[in-house]
Amino acid sequence: MSHSDLKQKALARASVLKAFEELEPEFQLLREMLKARKAAGLSQAEVASRMGTKAPAVARLESSLTSGQHSPSITTLKKYARAVGRQLDIRLVHGENQS
């Protein structure tokens, strides 16, 4: 079974779909982080050096966003953003079910 087939089968279950949708903000942030790192032409090790940490810490930061097991601090996200030549922008927006 391919990854795509497995994902489609799993997302057919309401509980899995709900959990997947709840992680969308983390997935979106991860996509933006990876895009910014790639645009800057930096490896995880180079980002880590600029952040004053080690490469495994950056790998954990990037992977933590897909697992939902850990939420990085705003300070850490600011350091990452600066390391890739960006600025962190956090906003509160109306949700779909909000009036």
CB atoms within 10 A of CB 80: 23
Q: How many CB atoms lie within 10 A of CB 11?
A: 14
Q: Using an 8 Å Cβ cutoff, are 66 and 19 in contact?
A: no
User: pLDDT by residue (tens digit) across 86-96?
Assistant: 999 999 988 77
Query: Quick one: CA dihedral 91, 29, 35, 87, positive or negative?
Result: positive
Q: Is the pTM of this model over 0.85?
A: no
Domain positions in the chain are 23-90
Task: For 12-40, write each residue's pLDDT tens digit.
Answer: 999 988 888 888 888 899 999 999 999 99
* CATH architecture of residue range(s) 23-90: Orthogonal Bundle (1.10)
